[in-house]
Chains A and B, each alone.
Chain A
Amino acid sequence: MADFDLAVVGGGPAGYVAAIRAAQLGFRTALVEEAQLGGICLNWGCIPTKALLSAADALDGARRAGRFGIAAAPDLCLAEAVAHSRRIAERLRRGVAALLEKNGVELIEGRGRLAGKGRLEVATATGPRRLSVDHLVLATGARPRALPGVVPDGVHIWTAREAMTPQAVPESLLVVGAGAIGAEFASFYADLGTRVTLVEVADRILPGEDREISALVRRAFTARGIEVRTGVGVVEASVAGEQVVATLSDQSRVSAERLLLAVGVQGNVEDLGLEGVGAKVERGFLVADAWGRTNVAGLYGVGDLVGPPWLAHKASRQGILCVERIAGVAPQAPLDLGRIPACTYCRPQVASLGLTEERARAGGRAVRVGRARLAGNGKALAAGEEEGLAKLVFDAASGELLGAHLVGPEVTELISALAVAAALEGTEEALSRAVLPHPTLSEWWGEAVLDALGRPIHH
């Protein structure tokens, strides 16, 4: 009998969740982690950046409190904000360790590497440990992608990790890449008073989002003093004294005190022993099917390691589905990537799921689009917010919610209602029958539903 029925390599949101679920199902389960439980998400991604962005939002709220008759001159202590962010990460990390222990997962600290099919070798502090396992789930995640000519040095040229533990507020920052990470840090540092330049090689920022949403965020960023340049890439960057000088693809030069590289991620596929067992890797990611099965018998891959979207909640769900499939738990349906919400916590916030209007139409579908501006929403106006757009894309024939795209305050929470609607396959008619409480921000997307049906009330 193998040492473990199932072992997971990588303790991030894909791996630790898969391990806990496996143990619950009765697998003798091991989790192999070489660094910190919780992975990037919990230690160097979602959670600590949200702590920093909450600080930035509080700062902004205090600055704009004059309209409520509050006079405040807020002063942010950067070290304290960063310390708060690290404390939260640490607390959650301990929580994961406790969950693993409670569920009977054996934690093996060290780097795991395949030593053949069903065999794992872990380099632990006390020497190599060899394990035989029936089912091996790889969840080693991804790391920031580098650009040729732009090599992070941890001092002047940053990745997200340095950007979330700054020693001081840089006077100027060049953010390369305007996806979720780039947009969030651009927003954060702009709030701290840094002069931010945001460069994106695509023709718009947040290129994965709906065009109208991108345009609205760009307007808001520009109004906040962020210089946004799209359609240009960075060819090369070099450090000269205390400045980073970047050459862009249009031959112009930008210099800034710091450069943040945020041009996507690549899978951690190296030195795992994948070649030895013939596992298929394409474009830097392990190839796995909808259940996480690779081309190698008994080898599975989940999370960022197997490709986009690079989202913690996708990773966790993949981990659960993979393990439940192995265990023969019924009923099962593969992950529907069209129903996974994605959130960006810049200001204004962006949240979306499913197809953009453009992509839905490109697929040849007849769609019914509903829009609503935030400006008509009483709760938002009362809170001093008026910039926002809710845009819902329905299939004209079936009424299925194909896409939901929100920009504005609290949309990262509002999107959940639409994710539930999509999961339950609610039609625009069904959504229109739900009574939404007043006064809430939720009325805003409710208005977009009515707009899609051609019977808006408030505009």
Chain B
Amino acid sequence: MRAQIVAVTMPKWGMEMREGEVVAWHAAVGDPVAAGADLVDVETSKIVNTVVAPVSGVLRAIVAEPGETLPVGALLGVIAPADVAEEEIRAFVARTAASGIPDAAGGEGAPDDAHRPAPGPEPETAPPAAVQGADAPPPSAAGGEVSAGDGEVAASPVARRLARRYGLVLAGLSGTGRHGRISKADVEAALRARGVALPEPPPRRPGLPRRRGDEAAVAATPVARRLARKLGVSLLDCRPSGARGRVCKADVEAAAARAGIGLAAPGAPAPAATAEKTPMGEPLRGMRRTIAARLQAAKREAPHFRVAVAVELDHLLALKRDLEARLPEARLSLNDCIVKAVGAALVRVPEVNVRFEEERLVRLAEADVAVAVALPDGLVTPVVRSVQAKGLVALADELRDLVTRARLGTLKPEETQGGGFTVSNLGMYGVDRFDAIINPPQGAILAVGAAKRRPVVRGDDLAVATVAEFTLSCDHRVIDGAVAARFLDALRGFLEHPATMLG
């Protein structure tokens, strides 16, 4: 029997995904689902994607409600045949949730837990003053340490979410739930003890006591099933009148009428959601949170050093103009040309084309270059593959497509993964020079300033040239200063004499 119960878990879309936020379920508890059908939308730092049902069956439990952020491998829901008893499902959920899951689904080389950031303590909302004033330590702005332990505390998902909403630290509470798990009631009690006024639960519906039993086993039309759930009517209370003994919409309505449950008039406005606005700031969500976490980690863990060079770009700009004038299909930005030169330099100095992953140095054979794309609320870094093997026109086309889809949020997960090197160009904003933070586990990032007409010295004479400043940030654990200098020298050579890229 147990083998038929299948866990739906937080997927791992690519090496860098650590957690995801449940956005919306496509099915409700009790709905039949087909293997491969869209089941639940999950937002990662980079995209919203859809988890499909791993098997056919009935969605028996939803563990992760929309809005919850959970680590990879965490239990989201349960699919099982309709005839599996409710108790078994509950036991399965309790067992799976309590076991802490990570990577229960097994599979693609999940790193061991030591390297996993604690999944718990998202700075989702600032706590109300009532809690802050109480004995619980106030969550720090940095987020990290205070709740770092919460991920390891056994707590139900609802309890976790409730605690997060009110900024309550779970570690201090004692659990009364199954296996000593902290339950929703425990959190509510703790909050009330701290003087938090919790919203009252909705009043129970009057009428017939709901029968206990397995509703999923009742034959019913999809409309009837959905309506019953909406009205809080048990299908077991309905007298089936449909073909082959199915419960129909009319049967549910009749049962609701017997129980005195009013049918909402169609189009009646939904009750206003209780305001959950925080006066003290907004939670970091999705992409923003990932940027914060990753770059914080990069800054903390990767010893950065920077080397910079000024590069004359007149030859490159002439080549760009010439190509554009002669080939209708050529539409090039300066950045396209820079990415092409970076590809060539990565081949020339492969020691820079590395990743530092799980304490291991990974040397990359292909010049896969990530390009930072600014978005209204963050940035994303799609990766152009095998830059060394592509012509400039094809590379520009690909970059334009990637940048367009990055802005629209329609990149595929794999398009933002991999590579050892990122190009970040703020030249279009007129920035003279800046330095960038490495995007781990990559080894280096190039910060490109604006190309401007500047005085240069040739021999003993002054001349005017178009010059841009390039600053390379490297992770010193895997790239040394001399290597970085050689890379910049190669890059400058390709940029100043673009014909050499053909060699």
Contacts and interface: CB of A to CB of B under 8 A. Distances in A.
Interface of A: 1, 5, 25-27, 117-118, 134-135, 277-280, 295-298, 326-329
B328 A27 contact: no
Nearest to B410: A328
Given A26-B408, A134-B403, A329-B410, 9 more contacts: A25-B408, A27-B404, A27-B408, A117-B331, A296-B331, A326-B404, A328-B404, A328-B405, A328-B411
A258 B361 CA distance: 84
A297 B330 contact: yes
A297 B404 contact: no
Interface of B: 324, 327-331, 374, 393, 396-397, 400-401, 403-405, 407-411, 428
A134 B400 contact: yes
A327 B393 contact: no
B331 A118 contact: yes
Q: Identify the 10 closest CB pairs spanning chains A and B, nearest first.
A: A278-B328, A297-B331, A26-B408, A117-B331, A296-B328, A328-B405, A328-B410, A295-B328, A298-B331, A297-B329
Contacts of B428: 1
A277 B331 CA distance: 10
Nearest to A274: B328
A21 to B, nearest CB: 12
A279 B408 CA distance: 27
A279 B328 contact: yes
B484 to A, nearest CB: 29
B396 A297 contact: yes
Contacts of A279: 328
A298 B400 CA distance: 8
A328 B401 contact: yes
Contacts of A329: 410
Contacts of B331: 117-118, 296-298
A328 B400 CA distance: 12
A26 B408 CA distance: 5
Given A1-B374, A1-B428, A295-B329, A117 B400 contact: no
A327 B328 CA distance: 22
A129 to B, nearest CB: 20
Contacts of B409: 26
A26 B407 CA distance: 8
Contacts of A1: 374, 428
Contact of B404 (A5, A280, A295, A296): A5
Nearest to A6: B404
A270 B396 CA distance: 28
Nearest to A117: B331
A297 B408 contact: no
A328 B328 contact: no
6 contacts: A1-B374, A27-B408, A279-B328, A326-B401, A327-B408, A328-B404
B329 A328 contact: no
**Central interface residue in B330, B407, B409, by most chain A CB within 10 Å:** B407
Contacts of B411: 328
A296 B408 contact: no
B337 to A, nearest CB: 14
**Central interface residue in B396, B404, B405, B409, by most chain A CB within 10 Å:** B404
A135 B331 CA distance: 11
B450 to A, nearest CB: 14
Contacts of A118: 331
Contacts of A135: 404
B407 A5 contact: yes
Contacts of A297: 328-331, 393, 396-397, 400
**Central interface residue in A5, A118, A135, A278, by most chain B CB within 10 Å:** A278
A118 B396 CA distance: 13
Contacts of B329: 295-297
Nearest to B408: A26
**Central interface residue in B324, B329, B374, by most chain A CB within 10 Å:** B329
Nearest to B326: A278
A327 B396 contact: no
Nearest to A296: B328
Nearest to B396: A297
A193 B329 CA distance: 56
A134 B374 CA distance: 15
A327 B400 contact: no
A135 B407 CA distance: 13
A301 to B, nearest CB: 13
Contact of A134 (B330, B404, B410): B404
Contacts of A278: 327-328
B52 to A, nearest CB: 15
Contacts of A25: 408, 410
A5 B400 CA distance: 10
Nearest to A116: B324
Contact of B324 (A27, A117, A327, A328): A117
A433 B194 CA distance: 70
Contacts of A134: 400, 403-404
A328 B407 CA distance: 12
A334 B331 CA distance: 25
Nearest to A25: B408
B330 to A, nearest CB: 6
Contacts of B404: 5, 27, 134-135, 326-328
A298 B398 CA distance: 11
Nearest to A279: B328
Nearest to B397: A297
A326 B408 CA distance: 10
Nearest to A329: B410
B304 to A, nearest CB: 27
**Central interface residue in B324, B327, B328, by most chain A CB within 10 Å:** B328
A280 B405 CA distance: 27
A298 B404 CA distance: 11
Contacts of A296: 328-329, 331
A280 B407 CA distance: 30
A117 B333 CA distance: 11
A340 to B, nearest CB: 28
Nearest to B411: A328
A117 B329 CA distance: 10
Nearest to B324: A117
A1 B407 CA distance: 11
B405 A327 contact: yes
A297 B326 CA distance: 12
A270 to B, nearest CB: 18
A256 B405 CA distance: 58
B225 to A, nearest CB: 29
A256 B396 CA distance: 59
Contacts of A117: 324, 331
Contacts of B396: 297
A296 B428 CA distance: 24
A135 B411 CA distance: 17
A278 B323 CA distance: 12
B327 to A, nearest CB: 8
Nearest to A135: B404
A27 B330 CA distance: 23
B428 to A, nearest CB: 6
Contacts of A277: 328
B397 to A, nearest CB: 6
A279 B401 CA distance: 20
